[in-house]
Chain A
């Protein structure tokens, strides 16, 4: 049995209480939500916080709802709830695609979307999915709330903009009509971290999107990548190449090529660099293809 080093345990009763506890521990504490990354790291003694601040009682951070033209996701939303939500599936099937391949049902029942983003594992799936759909993170601290685009949320492997006295409380996703989205992942075994994965959201020009046999013009597009060292989980060059262009196989292939060319994968036991770069391209193309089909109403 692997046992962690000594730590103190605090149980927050409200967001304000959590923030007060964070302030009191001055950066030596870690927030625990689902705990599926943090606890194993503590048991391996790779993480040794002086205290854990348990926010599992903060049910006020567990919600999925529409507010105006935004989808609001509380940071304590469990993966399983995101996967089960018809509202999420209706607007962003990419999130359901991604959740289906995140770990296993046991982990998804406990793990939270806020925890996943804050853990900032370079192979994490939701980071790429939320980058693709240009979500915004709401962070609360001693002096109130601030918002940060997910595309600026991560500052490096296992590092985010969330300060030691701050708490991620919400993810906001803009709802825009005429879009489709999808997520494609390759893992060595079900539940494993991604060898590589790509998420794409695409909005096609209203006139041509439904036109018979017409591919449509790309009004906007978001492409997220994980596990391949893409800056901020995001394929900016690939997106730029597609905006305003017809949503054709040729243009998807070029976007895929750019996505592969502009990432910086590292070799590990999941695969060598050339393979991961290939996957970044291949999965970008596949995600775009499926997202476009969904935008055209050709695929669920």
Chain B
């Protein structure tokens, strides 16, 4: 007799990036994920352990806690790994908790609790990207619209130092360019789209205007745009494309500037200041929003938490006498003698000299991750975690700050990020 296989269809929220696409349809059979529909490669890499840029290459899933002994990572029981992690962090004079932009909000809350307890600095992985943005808001004010409204109403979209095809692939089809909004019913035909980038990216295929600049020309371009907006000085711009961009921007009824990490690579603070000033100036006559494109799936949740709890979307440092200090300057790793990394791959982004310096000083790293990565390979203790939104329930904030509940669909023996953090708090 043939055995019948129970097949179940479920709707799922993708944790591939900050879009948190909620239209994924998954097929489950015998407690296993069989198929995922409507998913992009980023999402795929979360649900089937494949490499982000190479979907045919498998990513190693961590299933057992590991501890470094005689230079090699060896499997240990969870309690042993937890004790060692607690010891490392508890004995540290200056501990650092790093990452968190790819973890759920419950885990972020627990990490903040842990940071308070061990008097650590908590460093969001994308601080260098977000801090200049918040600095710009402080100076120029804010017009904020959720993606829902942008999708419905934005008729002019500018991407600055951002390539959504590489950071949040479905952003273009769900919200910003090709999406058929309520009052932009013809999708891309109802929108003007432009991009400013150092490279001739794929965006050129659908942008009416792509201004390619050299590194360091960002501020000159922004000045040039300002000069050619109505009421500007009209001085001939030093960078090609400024005049066209000024014309493009001034035709908007409802515009949005999406900026990516590219905007902050070179003189980030000044570029975001100028972009914020541009949005504010344009906003005097039309509706203009400045919007960060967060690649990590819950970056917005972390800054939201920090604003809620500490009043500053910066890195809080509980290791100072007389209270918490917050800093918008990315961390100087030389200060720290133990690091807990979760929701990020620190050693992937760290410049080689800094990574070597950490290794040379033998700074112990505790890594929590569902997958093996560069940080886990350098860590003293590795605690594997359940995948948020598939194996563990969580809450995450879409890049426009709207929270969504991530469901648990698959059983796992692995603990969730939050559970490990609470265990660590208890163990110290």
Do A and B come from the same complex? no
